């Protein structure tokens, strides 16, 4: 059966001979023969470019300039040295090539060259078959012809060698196919400066490389840069024909920490005042708000994630919500964190849809569906800052429920069911809907966030803009000084602080000591112990205890300590108590109520809301079936000491719930 024969040049012959020597060397002999033995289950051999360069520098240079030619020579060399004569089509994959080009600078001069690019996987298309060798049958004499195929357009034989016929039928079952998949790679977010649009490129993966990537993966892809002409637009589009994938999953991989940097980091950690210095260097352009800056500093360092024996994962990332009056610098704090944190992403709730936060199902060029990663997926192992969280539509807001606690995003769209990783810290900001924060109203009444979301934040801060002569003087002086000198006073240089955080997160995994555990346990039990009385509200839950563990671990990380000590636990408790007093103190009972913190109805209101229908029932009997509003308000005030505003608020809630209704204006009735 005739097959096409590729022309062999002297250069190719030389390359084949050199690869035969290389694959027969001590370093690769066993590796190659092992792969040949396992073929077709194992379909590729990985070659380290540095080792090829040491063996044959000219061949390594030729690979960069003529990748297609050199890779074919390498595959031929393996077939030549195969003792079993399997005619194995083993793919040769090259790692650690020196031609690493940022996506932004991947221009036309690199077309035809072998390159390596780093990026985040935005989406992956369906796996489709590509015909490699097409088998044709002559319609006249039934002779079979095998024709190798090099593109998506199928090439037929020119004429039948038996009868000279020119009409052929493609036999799909007899033809040879290969799996192929298209994926989209976006440049790393760390490489972007303000206002720049991230560059993207299509990657073609074939054979054993398919199905090895999911949206959100950070990878280095080595391959052959090619260009193809679009039939519709008549323009050329670049793509990379993938050869090798290296996962860059390690945290903060992009940050190179030199021995000098490490020395400076350790010197800083030894400073007894390092904690205060880091807080002062957090969002230094904003004056004051020490507690918020302290929380942000702890969030940047983070706790330790744990995977239990039953595969349950406990998050180590700290989530913070800042609620505050307009013009106090919330957005600026978020912007600062997104720039300082490796893989930091800033997004605004007003301009972000649910799929923009999680993942979108998009149609590919063939009409199939594929997933495109959103902000929470791209921010995996980083920080995601969501401004104006309260401005998001309710259906979009629900998208972040799972991401906040389980740190995964489950997708069931357009027939695609997938779970993507979202292991990020979330720093969110919200404005009170009445313009300014009212300390007598619960958070849920003022920012329209459901309790299910509020309860997932480890720390919730309320920042009020209250006039204060001394503070206002300091603030005015701080702002004017920045405008005059165009410089920001910071204790630690931002670049060193960034490396300090990266070093701590990468190398320090603090564990709880028995003493720290005892302190946390005593605080938790002590807080709940005061609420054993039936009339008392629940002050904290197990969620707050887990938050304390994360905050304690983050505090230990700042000191680069391997153990969480009593001082770390005490700092965490101190910070959490400040938050609880700010947002969880029920003015009626004078006690902390976790339901008020997490946006549910406080216990004092739950007691009162049960009383209102009882009083309405009593008045119904007395006044012929309907309870007059003015008498109801007087009764609630006289008997139960309930002010008119609170009574009307509870009546409105009961009407919304459908427990009571208004048959005529000014009269109420229980359903």
How far apart CA 403 and CA 381 sit, in angstroms, is 12
Instruction: Return the SS3 of 53.
Output: helix
- Smallest CA-to-CA distance from 458 within 344, 347, 338, 554 is with 554
The CATH fold of domain 10-95: mini-chromosome maintenance (MCM) complex, chain A, domain 1 (3.30.1640)
599 to 69, 87, 286: CA distances (angstroms): 65, 68, 29
Per-domain residue ranges for the chain? Answer: 10-95, 103-247, 259-507, 603-670
Q: What is the CATH code of the structural domain delimited by 603-670? A: 1.10.10.10
Class of domain 259-507: alpha beta
Q: CA 412, 413, 416 angle in degrees (round to 5)?
A: 70
Contact, 75 vs 91, CB < 8 A? yes
Q: Which pair of structure tokens corresponds to residue 335?
A: 């912007």
Left (φ > 0), alpha (ψ -120 to 50) or beta: where does 278 sit? alpha
- Smallest CA-to-CA distance from 178 within 16, 355, 68, 43 is with 43
Q: Which pair of structure tokens corresponds to residue 207?
A: 């054979």
pLDDT at site 517: 92
Contact, 252 vs 506, CB < 8 A? yes
Contact, 668 vs 661, CB < 8 A? yes
How far apart CA 570 and CA 591 sit, in angstroms, is 21
Q: Which pair of structure tokens corresponds to residue 481?
A: 């000084």
491 to 212, 463, 539: CA distances (angstroms): 45, 24, 37
My answer on whether omega of the bond before 419 falls inside 30° of 0, hence cis, is no
DSSP state of 389: G
Task: Specify the long-range contacts of residues 30-34, CB closer than 8 Å, at least 24 apart.
Answer: 32/78, 32/81, 33/83
- Smallest CA-to-CA distance from 324 within 444, 433, 227 is with 433
Q: CA 240, 242, 244 angle in degrees (round to 5)?
A: 140
140 to 7, 137, 164: CA distances (angstroms): 31, 9, 9
pLDDT at site 34: 82
pLDDT at site 591: 63
Helix (H) or strand (E) holding 228: strand 218-229
- DSSP readout, 480-537? HHHHHH-----SS-HHHHHHHHHHHHHH---EE-HHHHHHHHHHHHHHHHTT-STTSP
400, 333, 189, 180: CA torsion to nearest 10: 0
pLDDT at site 515: 92
Scan for tokens 């194995």, then name that residue.
Answer: 88
Instruction: Return the SS3 of 89.
Output: coil
Over the chain (671 residues), the average pLDDT of each successive run of 10 is 42 75 82 81 85 86 88 85 76 86 84 88 82 87 84 79 84 86 80 63 87 80 86 82 78 65 85 86 77 88 84 85 78 79 73 66 65 75 82 71 80 73 85 70 70 82 74 71 70 82 85 91 79 59 86 90 90 86 64 60 65 78 78 76 75 76 77 74
The neighbour count for residue 162, using CB atoms within 10 Å, is 13
Pairing of strands 359-363, 313-314: unpaired
pLDDT at site 11: 54
b vs e for 436-445, b when ≥16 Cβ sit within 10 Å of the residue's Cβ? ebeeeebbbe
pLDDT at site 194: 46
In terms of pTM, does the model score above 0.85?
no
Hey, which CATH number is domain 103-247, 2.40.50.140, 2.40.50.840, 2.40.40.20, 3.40.50.2300? 2.40.50.140
How far apart CA 150 and CA 146 sit, in angstroms, is 13
Give the rounded distance of the alpha carbon of 592 from its chain centre: 34
Q: Which pair of structure tokens corresponds to residue 158?
A: 């020119």
């Amino acid at each position: 059966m005739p097959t096409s024969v590729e022309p062999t040049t002297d250069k190719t012959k030389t390359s084949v001979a050199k690869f035969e020597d290389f694959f027969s060397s001590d370093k690769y002999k066993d590796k190659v023969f092992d792969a040949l033995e396992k073929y077709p289950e194992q379909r590729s051999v990985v070659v380290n470019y540095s080792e090829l360069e040491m063996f044959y520098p000219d061949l390594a240079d030729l690979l960069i300039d003529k990748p297609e030619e050199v890779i074919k020579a390498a595959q031929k060399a393996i077939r030549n040295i195969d003792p079993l004569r399997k005619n194995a089509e083993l793919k040769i994959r090259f790692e650690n090539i020196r031609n690493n080009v940022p996506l932004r600078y991947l221009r036309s001069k690199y077309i035809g060259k072998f390159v390596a690019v780093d990026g985040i996987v935005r989406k992956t298309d369906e796996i489709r078959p590509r015909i490699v060798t097409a088998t044709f049958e002559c319609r006249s004499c039934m002779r079979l012809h095998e024709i190798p195929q090099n593109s998506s357009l199928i090439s037929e034989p020119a004429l039948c060698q038996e009868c000279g016929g020119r009409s052929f039928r493609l036999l799909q079952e007899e033809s040879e196919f290969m799996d192929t998949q298209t994926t989209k790679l976006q440049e790393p977010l760390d490489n972007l400066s303000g206002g720049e649009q991230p560059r993207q490129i299509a990657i073609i993966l074939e054979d054993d490389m398919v199905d090895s990537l999911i949206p959100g993966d950070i990878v280095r892809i080595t391959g052959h840069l090619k260009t193809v002409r679009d039939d519709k637009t008549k323009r050329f589009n670049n793509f990379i024909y993938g050869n090798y994938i290296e996962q860059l999953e390690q945290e903060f991989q992009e940050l190179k920490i030199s021995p000098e940097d490490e020395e400076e980091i350790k010197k800083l950690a030894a400073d007894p005042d390092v904690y205060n210095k880091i807080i002062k260097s957090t969002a230094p352009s904003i004056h004051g708000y020490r507690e918020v800056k302290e929380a942000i500093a702890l969030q940047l360092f983070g706790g330790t994630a744990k995977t239990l024996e039953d595969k349950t994962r406990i998050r180590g990332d700290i989530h913070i919500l800042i609620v505050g009056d307009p013009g106090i610098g919330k957005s600026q704090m978020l912007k600062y964190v997104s720039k300082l944190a490796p893989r930091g992403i800033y997004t605004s709730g007003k301009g972000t849809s649910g799929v923009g936060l999680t993942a979108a199902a998009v149609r590919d060029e063939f009409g199939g569906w594929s997933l495109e990663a959103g902000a929470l997926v791209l921010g995996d192992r980083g920080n995601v800052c969501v401004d104006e969280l309260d401005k998001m539509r309710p259906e979009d807001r629900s998208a972040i429920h799972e991401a906040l606690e389980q740190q995964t995003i489950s997708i069931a769209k357009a027939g695609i069911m997938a779970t993507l990783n979202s292991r990020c810290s979330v720093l969110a900001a919200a404005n009170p809907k009445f313009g300014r924060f009212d300390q007598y109203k619960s958070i849920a009444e003022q920012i329209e966030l459901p309790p299910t979301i509020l309860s997932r934040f480890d720390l919730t801060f309320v920042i009020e803009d209250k006039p204060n002569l001394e503070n206002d003087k300091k603030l005015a002086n701080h702002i004017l000084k920045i405008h005059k000198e165009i410089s920001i006073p910071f204790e630690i240089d931002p670049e060193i602080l960034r490396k300090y955080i990266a070093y701590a997160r990468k190398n320090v995994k603090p564990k709880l000591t028995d003493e720290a555990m005892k302190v946390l346990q005593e605080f938790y039990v002590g807080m709940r112990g005061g609420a054993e009385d039936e009339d008392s509200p629940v002050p904290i839950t197990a969620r707050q205890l887990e938050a304390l563990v994360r905050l304690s671990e983050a505090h230990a990380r700042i000191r680069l300590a391997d153990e969480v000590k009593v001082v770390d636990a005490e700092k965490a408790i101190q910070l959490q108590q400040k938050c609880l007093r700010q947002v969880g103190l029920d003015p009626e009972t004078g006690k902390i109520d976790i339901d008020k913190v997490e946006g549910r109805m406080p216990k004092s209101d739950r007691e009162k809301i049960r009383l209102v229908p009882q009083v309405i029932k009593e008045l119904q009997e007395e006044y012929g079936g309907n309870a007059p509003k003015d008498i109801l308000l007087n009764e609630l005030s006289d008997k139960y000491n309930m002010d008119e505003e609170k009574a009307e608020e509870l009546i409105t809630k009961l009407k919304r719930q459908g427990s009571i209704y208004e048959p005529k204006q000014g009269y109420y009735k229980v359903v």
